[in-house]
Structure 1
Amino acid sequence: MNLSDQLSITAKNYPSKTAYVFQDEETSYMELESSVKKFASQLEKLGYQKGDHVALIVGNSPYYIAGLYGALRLGLVVIPINPLYTPHEMSYILNNGDVKAVITMDILLDKFVAIDDQLPKVNHYISCESGAEVDLDNHTLSSKMKSFTVMVQGGSVDYVGPNINEDDAAIILYTSGTTGKPKGAILSHHNLYSNARDVADYLTITREDRVVAALPMFHVFCLTVSLNAPLINGGTVLIMPTFSPSEVFRMTKDHHATVFAGVPTMYNYLLQSAKENKDSFSGIRLCISGGASMPVSLLKDFEQAFDVNISEGYGLSEASPVTCFNPLDRPRKPGSIGRSIIHVENKVVDERGDEVEIGEVGELIVQGPNVMQGYYNFPEETSVALRDGWLYTGDMAQMDDEGYFYIVDRKKDLILVGGYNVYPREVEEVLYSHPNVMEVAVVGVPDPELGEAVRSFVVVSDPTITEEILADFCKEQLVKYKIPTQIEFLDELPKNTTGKILRRSLRDKVTN
């Protein structure tokens, strides 16, 4: 079984059931299934075949759902990309991922003008209408352009796709690595289906649930928990184009939402408006938190203010992503990421790979049907991450005597900005490309709203270089949340005897 086949079954069994709500308009499962078939048939008509790679660079919308499931129906491999990325960031992923077609919004097409000649494998840009006035007829890329809407209108509702094997690649999720180059985690149809199924079972998400999709759909947290999990059981997805506390409260009340999933930053914003909006959350039976550790004080204050339980979990792109959640059938433990979900095993090991004693700290490793096949075009990194059937997460954790896990420390240098991963090396590489930057080190510092913020320390050759100049330089190549919020100039960076920059010393300098 796979996600696309399950959608067909649900549409057959419950054709009039609402699959999703967008801008207060409801779309049934049969209508969604029809769009999926039509889009898949037109992709095939353009010459795309099972195994080809397509990028999905679309915000939260019906385009994302029909585009994703339509491509999967044909057996294509989908590469979701953050629409806010700069052309510089996108071009690397599109080339490394061997992308042949890009599904994107019409208002984003100008981003590809400057890099189109750097993308020799891209044959088509499939444009989704945003409602803005965009002159597509005279666009520079018009010769490669196709309209998503026109494709669906001209597609066939009788389309039957190729046979899909459960081990066939379905999605490649690019996640930043310690080398500064993002790596694509290859997730099979079975990886995605099993995790959506097991998350839905563990959290008892059923056909009666209406799940708010406020997280970005290109992010694996939303992809599995807020999109695939409810769709796999015939639930309804309440699509939010962007996160807005006032819109969350309106949507949960007007559309009778039952489940909300978000990162701690979102809960913090919602809590600030708790008094006047408490009744809007009266129908919510469960809140889900992930992406970063939630402060215990925030968790308790939110639960008390809205009279709802928050189940905190843990996951990573390489595991589709969920491996742990706090169970719903017993008191959850604040500060814990919970217990292993169904069919997934977590354990804590030492440097030799041997399981440590209860309560001791070691590396968290994962095994299950949700674990990726490897990194696309990165065989060495794959061999490091996947060993003896286990995924080594790089996160330090401990387990108590009831099987609850606790994250003690994150991957060595990872910075979590509002739930988004930022690796220092990627930011450092951009700063190093400035002609006047001699040395640079980037660390994460505490931030009351976002959890962490990016801070950089630089050594420059020209004393006239200012923080504003370097920040503007970063804006040209990095998405907003990766740009340093502070840049400090030093005469030299602290190093050990081998010349390695000591990030911990810099981090201590800020936090002490």
Structure 2
Amino acid sequence: MNISSQLALTAKTNPMKEAYIFEGDSKTYAELNAAINAFATGLENMGISQGDHVGLVVGNSPYFVLGLYGAARIGATVIPINPIYTPDELSYILRDGDVKAIITLDLLVPLFEKLHGHLPLTEHYIICETPDGKEKAKDFPVEQLSVYPKLKSFTSVMASGSFTYEGPELKDDDVAVILYTSGTTGKPKGAMLTHKNLYRNAKDSADFLKMNETDKVVATLPMFHVFCLTVALNAPLMNGATVIIVPRFSPQVIFDVVKEYEATVFAGVPTMYNFLLQSPGDVEDLKSLRLCISGGASMPVALLKNFEKKYNVIISEGYGLSEASPVTCFNPLDKPRKAGSIGTTIVNVENKVVNELGEEVAPGEVGELIVRGPNVMSGYYKMPEETASAIRDGWLYTGDLAKMDEDGYFYIVDRKKDMIIVGGYNVYPREVEEVLYSHENVVEVAVVGVPDPQFGEAIKCFVVTNTQMNESDLLGYCAERLAKYKVPTSIEFLEELPKNTTGKILRRALKEKLGV
């Protein structure tokens, strides 16, 4: 079984169930499955076949769903990419990923006109129409571009296909998706996720979160990111739920969408919950939600408690990474939820905390979190050495420092590379951040280590507040709640913190700002 065949099965057993809603339009599972068949056979008619690589450079829309599932149905490998990447970022991934066809937006045609000379393996550009793109096309002579012979409209590819299609037999270990990591430690690496990886993690996540055909799941996280891809798209579609596709996040849009469609599940990163908390919404706006899911970054305990109190809905924090498809843990729904914890291991996955020798440590001790299961990638594309370093004896080494309590709940302490050493003492940025988040006037915070001639490293904080504050007051607040060596030496106030497209705070950008 794989995500494409499971969707086809749902289309047979429950054809009239809504599969997705997008900007007032909806499609049933039968309609979606027929459209997937049409796009899949359209790709085959173009010469795209099993094993070919297809770039998917679109935002949250039905185009993404059809592109992903259509390519998967013929056994092609999909490479989802952030459409706002710079030309250099796009070019690197498309070249490294050996992409034969690119599904992209009409607005990006001028960009690919500049890039296509650097993409010799790319034979086709499948262009998705957007309202803004159609308006600009009136003054833009596309037929004069040198890339024009390679352009085909998404609509024409669909029209050339067939609504009925069986497709080739796909093996569990065939690569379904290559997800390029954000490249925090160098050039992005392509994590190869197999059909088994994607299906198993989506199904296990959906079952763990008790998703079923009565659920309506809000997908506003970027679909090209593994969190949304699995938890808010594939997981609900595996269990016959409805996906509410939201092109971009804004608090008011989320309030409106949840209320209008009576959504039951919302998935977001901590900054999204922070924006919703700071917005003038009330409990009535989100009263239909039975569950909120948080991932992508650690959820500050104060934020979690304040959000749950205001909106009367629980947040199940989980953990994952691209290389694990991504989910390995979630806070359970049938047992106590522990604030600050990423929860317990989901079914079919193993997590453990180990020391530098790879030996499991006792409960409460900090070590590196490692993972094993059917969700772990087959390796990094064209990077055997990096693969061997990340996967050892069947275990994926995450690079995250964690601990496990006596009840089997895991806690992320910090990224291994972000740990700060002050005078020989280990300081985990998250611990300092949690204290600052507990201050009623602190909205966002990020902690980094900076060089210090006396202690090796010192602690610097970047803080966003909801009212004017001075540094000495916040330093005093920390001094009352932290050991002396954990107290920041300086605080810089900013209007906002740098974030990536998923809303994750970028410590790396702050370090670059400081030149460290």
After TM superposition, the score normalised by the length of structure 1 is 0.82
Contact 2:184 2:508 in 1 (8 A): no
| CA distance in structure 2 between the partners assigned to 1:21 and 1:34 by the alignment | 16
1:337 aligns with 2:339: no
What is the CA deviation profile of residues 409-454 of structure 1, one whole-angstrom value per residue up to 9, with x for unaligned ones?
Answer: 11404999xxxxxxx9xxxxxxxxxxxxxxxxxx9964549xxxxx
- Following superposition, the deviation at residue 482 of structure 1 comes to 9.4
Give CA deviations for 1:90-142 in whole Å, capped at 9, x if unaligned: 10001111111110010012121222111100001100001122244344421
C-alpha change, 1:34 and 1:444, in structure 2 (3 Å) is farther
The whole-number CA distance in structure 1 between the counterparts of 2:242 and 2:170 is 26
Other structure's SS at 2:310 match? helix
* Structural mapping, 1:244-323, within 5 Å: 244-274=250-280, 276-323=281-328
Which amino acid counterpart does residue 194 of structure 2 have in structure 1? S
Aligned: 1:151 with 2:157: yes
Distance 1:279 1:220 in 2: 31
Shift of 1:161: 1.0
Cα distance in 1, alignment partners of residues 320 and 123 from structure 2: 34
- Tell me the residue number matched to 1:437: none
Aligned residue number for residue 351 of structure 2: 346
> Letter of the aligned partner of 1:129 in structure 2?
E
Quickly say closer, same or farther: Cα 1:103–1:300, change in 2 above 3 A.
Answer: same
Shift of 1:273: 2.2
Contact 1:249 1:277 in 2 (8 A): no
Matched with 1:207 is 213
Partner AA of 2:123 in structure 1: N
Between the aligned partners of 2:505 and 2:410, the Cα distance in structure 1 is 32
- Partner Cα distance (1:485, 1:357) in 2: 35
Aligned counterparts of 2:250 and 2:222: Cα–Cα separation in 1: 12
Q: In 2, Cα distance between the equivalents of 1:64 and 1:70?
A: 10
Partner Cα distance (1:409, 1:486) in 2: 16
After superposition, give the CA deviation of every residue in 1:335-369 in whole Å (9 maximum; x if it has no partner).
Answer: 00001001101000011111001111110000011
Report the CA distance between 1:23 and its aligned residue.
0.4
Q: Secondary structure at the match of 2:177?
A: strand
- Separation in 1, partners of 2:152, 2:395: 42
Amino acid at match of 2:195: H
Query: Once the two structures are superposed, what CA deviation does each residue of 1:293-321 show, in whole Å capped at 9, x if it has no partner?
Result: 11101000000000000000000000000
1:99 aligns with 2:135: no
- RMSD of the alignment, in Å? 2.3
1:51 corresponds to which residue? Answer: 51
Distance 1:487 1:219, change over 3 A: closer
Distance in 2 (CA, whole Å) between partners of 1:176 and 1:391 is 18
Letter in 1 for 2:236: P
Q: Where in structure 1 do 4 or more consecutive aligned residues deviate above 3 Å? A: 135-140, 176-179, 413-416, 443-449, 479-489
Q: Measure the CA separation in 2 of the matches of 1:326 and 1:40.
A: 37
Indicate the larger mover: 158-167 or 314-323.
Answer: 158-167
Partner of 2:131, secondary structure, is coil
Indicate the residue corresponding to 1:31 in structure 2. Answer: 31
Q: Distance in 2 between matches of 1:179 and 1:481?
A: 13
Aligned residue in 2 for 1:391: 396
Counting only pairs closer than 5 Å after superposition, residues 127-166 of structure 1 correspond to structure 2 as 127-132=127-132, 133=135, 134=137, 135=140, 136-166=142-172
Q: Secondary structure at the match of 2:329?
A: strand
User: What is the match of residue 379 of structure 2?
Assistant: 374
**1:481 shift after superposition:** 7.0
The Cα shift of 1:485 comes to: 6.5
3-state secondary structure, aligned to 1:186: strand
Instruction: Check 1:302–1:486 CA distance in 2 against 1; reply closer, same or farther (3 A cut).
Output: same
Gaps of 5+ in 2: 420-428, 431-447, 449-458, 466-503
Q: What's the CA shift string for 1:169-195, capped at 9, x where partnerless?
A: 000000034651100000000000000
Q: Which amino acid aligns with 2:226?
A: V
Percent identity of the aligned residues?
Answer: 59
How many residues align structurally? 437
Give the Cα–Cα distance (whole angstroms) in 2 for the partners of residues 405 and 91 of structure 1. Answer: 38
Task: Give the counterpart of 2:188 among 182, 187, 195.
Answer: 182
Q: Does 1:234 align with 2:240?
A: yes
SS of aligned partner of 1:160: coil
Question: What residue number does 2:63 align with?
Answer: 63
